[in-house]
Amino acid sequence: MNYGVYDPFKIDFDSLDELADRISQVLQCPVTIEDANHRLLAYSTHDERTDQARISTIIGRRVPEKVINQLWKEGTIPALLSTKEPIRVKNMAEIGLGHRVAISIWKQEEVLGFIWAIEIDRSLTDQDLALLKKAAQSAKNKLLQLRTRKNRKEERSQEFFWKLLTGHLHIHEEIMNHFQSLQITPASTYGLLVFQFQQNITNKEEQNISYSLKTNQRLKIMLSTIDCNQLILLISADSIQNPFEELSEFAQLFIHKMKERYRITGITPVFSSIYNDYSTITKAYNETLEVLSIKHQFPDETKNIYTYQKLGIYQFFHILLEKRKHEQYENYSLRMLREYDEKHNSNLIETLDIFLSKDTNINDAAKELNVHANTLNYRLKRIAEIGGVDFKDPNQKMTLYIDLKLQKYQRM
């Protein structure tokens, strides 16, 4: 038989399932076809020969996340994303993956999906691999049709999401009708998770982000969109015992994968409170923007704060600042210390700020200031004398802390 001419897949298949069965028949092995995000599209039937990874994929309708992660670590998926040739995948017993051959389905320079052929009784020959390349060509048009339908739905989903974020949809019945038309089941409780990148997200980065989100099996993402340098996600909080902890772990895992797989760094995650009313999504969105703004203004003080719930006194800065302006209030102690600093070229204001920010811990504050503890104690005595500060008075310490931060907030 001349494999250079013969193409057993050059016929019009009614479905990808028919194509998967045909590939299985020609290559005499079990076959699965996935989209670019490893969701199962079709698999060959009438074949009991398989392995645990394939069984889990068929049951869950997508490749298990542990399998995807291992294939990244072993270099299989990076290879599939860079070549149009078949790739041999070695046995990985720890994740239930047997020997198989994989090939990407390409449209020009874009990967649309993958075909996996499991080598159960024999290894595929060079002729078999040539046939597998023809099968990938045959699958391309079917996957393009699926992608077109998927893109239309994603555009409708993003339009709906932006209407929620901007408050253009606020009637409960209307919101539920939109969810239903998009075939999305709304969670009874939800939160917004926002990732801020250092620069505007490129088209290529958007594809990588989409892949990472759609292969995630940790949290349910109902809606997502990208706005310049921000990735915005609507997350279901149903069946999550500790939502803030789960959101934090998911965020750190996402950031790790973006760095490890795509060399993207400097991503800042923040998330809103947990809500049950979808008409308040605008409020949740504003919370995330407020956290990002505060983190930008106070990076050191808020480096471990990612949620609006933990902003503490920072939640009220805009209100307090307006009150201070209206009353033309000035903190006497800070004025006296500032005048002393200007006259003697000292840094008592900075020392006080760091001392209060470190919860009046002498050792931590001295380390931050890079001075000896005795030196810090001397400065604190001078602060007490010059500014009339009583460090045993918690009310005065709190007022000084707030006014120091408000001054910094006002300057930015």
AA letter at 46: H
* CA 164 distance to own-chain centroid: 20
Per residue in 96-134, pLDDT tens? 999 999 999 999 888 999 999 999 888 999 999 999 999
Does position 194 have pLDDT exceeding 60, yes or no? Answer: yes
- Give CA torsion, residues 81, 82, 84, 90, to 10 deg: -70
Per the rule left: phi > 0, alpha: psi between -120 and 50, beta: everything else, 56 is alpha
Gyration radius of the chain's alpha carbons? 29
Strand 268-271 with 190-196, pairing: antiparallel
Kindly indicate the confidence band of residue 45, based on its pLDDT and cuts at 50, 70 and 90: confident
Does position 409 have pLDDT exceeding 80, yes or no? Answer: no
C-alpha 32/C-alpha 105 separation (Å) is 13
C-alpha 211/C-alpha 206 separation (Å) is 9
Kindly indicate the confidence band of residue 4, based on its pLDDT and cuts at 50, 70 and 90: low
Q: Which two tokens stand for residue 298?
A: 């106070």
Q: What pTM was computed for the model?
A: 0.74
C-alpha 157/C-alpha 155 separation (Å) is 5
Question: Cβ(124)–Cβ(36) under 8 Å?
Answer: no
pLDDT of residue 326: 77
pLDDT of residue 1: 44
**CB atoms near residue 251 (< 10 Å):** 21
Per residue in 362-392, pLDDT tens? 999 999 999 999 999 999 999 999 999 999 9
Q: How far apart are the first and last CA of the chain?
A: 75
Axis-axis angle for helices 394-411, 332-344 (nearest 10)? 60
C-alpha 190/C-alpha 284 separation (Å) is 10
